[in-house]
Amino acid sequence: MRKEVIMYTEIGCFVLCVSGWILMCSTMPTEYWNYSTVDGIVLTTANYFSNLWKDCISDSTGVSDCKEFPSLLGLDMYIHVCRALVITGIILGFFGAVLALVGMKCTKIGGSDITNARITFAAGMNYIISGLCGMIAFSWYGNRIREEFVDPNFKAQKYEIGAAVFIGWGGSTLLIVGGFVYSIFSLSKPISSASTLSRQVYVPGIPEQDLESRRGKANRYFSRDAYV
């Protein structure tokens, strides 16, 4: 496979994965993980929304008030798991970006092609695991909202899936796809160096530098006397 194709593919995957990582990071401060609207009197409307860290409420005038969760131990287990998975995915995505910058062909930092291939493969695995962590967290949170919404025996306030969950799904998908392509193309990097090594002939008793010089003299000799 041509080096230019691998290089441009790596750049495209890097942009894809970084975009997904940014989308996942943006869900952390976003307050609209879920939302609910309560209509009362004609001009009175209350909007309830929350995320992994706090509950918020706003009225028809646009004034909103947020309150952090009072007790860490009093939260449901899925909140703790979603927090841990999203934070883990963000950390893995950051290290995946660092490894990708080192292993990419255009940066020329990693060293040989085989070393670059290993670093790029590690970056792809980090991106895939990061995307899976985010996908599990957002899917679990969204499914919990769906279960409560369709449950006829659930009498508390019912919520709908907010924009942050959809953004997280999109970012996680980009991370998984980009990491998967990264991992596949990293396996084709050592091919060029392996083919180069296979063309080298080792002659016992002759140093490599002398062998190269003799080979060059022979090539010049045959090129000069080819038509004599």
Query: Does 41 or 137 have the greater pLDDT score?
Result: 137
pLDDT at 23: 94
Answer yes or no: is pLDDT of 57 > 90. Answer: no
Tell if the pTM clears 0.95, that is, is over it.
no
Mean pLDDT of 152-181: 90
Q: 92 or 183: which carries more pLDDT confidence? A: 92
> Hey, what are 213's tokens?
């010089």
Give me the pLDDT at residue 150, please. Answer: 85
Mean pLDDT of the region 130-134: 95
Spatial contact of 124 and 180, defined as CB atoms under 8 Å apart: yes
Count of residues in the chain:
228
φ and ψ of 64, to 5 deg: -120, 155
User: Whose CA is closest to 12, among 177, 196, 207, 126?
Assistant: 177
In contact, 130 and 21? CB cutoff 8 Å: yes
Which structure tokens are listed for 58? 């706003």
- Give the residue among 33, 140, 31, 29 at the shortest CA–CA distance from 90: 29
Among 135, 159, 163, 140, which residue's Cα sits nearest to residue 149? 159
Where on the phi/psi map is residue 205: left (φ > 0), alpha (ψ -120 to 50), or beta?
left
Is residue 189's pLDDT more than 70?
A: no
C-alpha 146/C-alpha 151 separation (Å) is 8
Other Cβ atoms closer than 10 A to 114: 13
**Mean pLDDT score, 153-166:** 86
pLDDT at position 132 over 90: yes
